[in-house]
Amino acid sequence: MYVNGKFVPENQPVISVFDHGFLYGDGVFEGIRAYKGRVFKLREHVDRLFDSAKAIDLDIGMTKEAMEEAILETLRQNNLKDAYIRPIVSRGNGDLGLDPLKCDKANVFIVLKTMDSLYDTMELKAVTVGVRRNAPDALSPNIKSLNYLNNILAKIEANAKGGQEAIFLDNNGFVAEGSGDNIFIIKNGVVYTPPTINNLKGITRATAIELLEKNKIPVRVENIGLFDVYTADEIFVTGTAAEAAAVVWVDGRTVGTGKTGPVTALMLKEFERVTTTTGTE
19 binds ligand PLP (CB under 6 A): no
CB of 239 to ligand PLP, least distance (A): 4
Assess contact for 166 and 129: CB atoms under 8 A: yes
With CB under 6 A as the contact rule, which of the stretches 4-12, 88-96, 200-208, 219-227 interacts with ligand PLP?
Answer: 200-208
With CB under 6 A as the contact rule, which of the stretches 50-58, 108-116, 159-167, 233-241 interacts with ligand PLP?
Answer: 233-241
Number of amino acids touching ligand PLP (CB under 6 A): 15
Q: At what angle do helices 203-214 and 262-277 cross, to 10 degrees?
A: 110
Q: Which is nearer to ligand PLP, 91 or 144 (CB)?
A: 144
With CB under 6 A as the contact rule, which of the stretches 89-97, 213-221, 232-240, 257-265 interacts with ligand PLP?
Answer: 232-240
238 binds ligand PLP (CB under 6 A): yes
Q: How far apart are CA 186 and CA 218, in angstroms?
A: 10
Among 4, 18, 24, 31, binds ligand PLP (CB under 6 A): 31
Judge whether 259 counts as a catalytic residue: no
200 binds ligand PLP (CB under 6 A): yes
CB of 203 to ligand PLP, least distance (A): 4
Among 46, 205, 236, 244, binds ligand PLP (CB under 6 A): 205
Q: Which is nearer to ligand PLP, 94 or 194 (CB)?
A: 194
196 binds ligand PLP (CB under 6 A): no
Q: Any bridge partners for residue 32, and if so which?
A: 85
Q: Which of 41, 125, 144, 155 is catalytic?
A: 144
Q: Which is nearer to ligand PLP, 94 or 141 (CB)?
A: 141
Please, which of residues 114-153 interact with ligand PLP by CB under 6 A?
151
> Which DSSP string do the residues of the chain spell out, in sequence order?
-EETTEE--TTS----TTBHHHHH--EEE--EEEETTEETTHHHHHHHHHHHHHHTT---SS-HHHHHHHHHHHHHHTT-SSEEEEEEEE--B--SSS-GGG--S-EEEEEEEE--------EEEEEEEEEEE--SSSS-TTS-BS--HHHHHHHHHHHHTT-SEEEEEETTS-EEEESSSEEEEEETTEEEE--TTSS---HHHHHHHHHHHHTT--EEE----HHHHHT-SEEEEEETTTEEEEEEEETTEEPTTSS--HHHHHHHHHHHHHHHH--B-
With CB under 6 A as the contact rule, which of the stretches 17-25, 123-131, 198-206, 264-272 interacts with ligand PLP?
Answer: 198-206
Q: How far apart are CA 44 and CA 280, in angstroms?
A: 11
Q: Which is nearer to ligand PLP, 92 or 202 (CB)?
A: 202
Please, which of residues 164-183 interact with ligand PLP by CB under 6 A?
177, 180-182
Residue ranges binding ligand PLP (CB under 6 A): 31, 151, 177, 180-182, 199-200, 202-205, 238-240
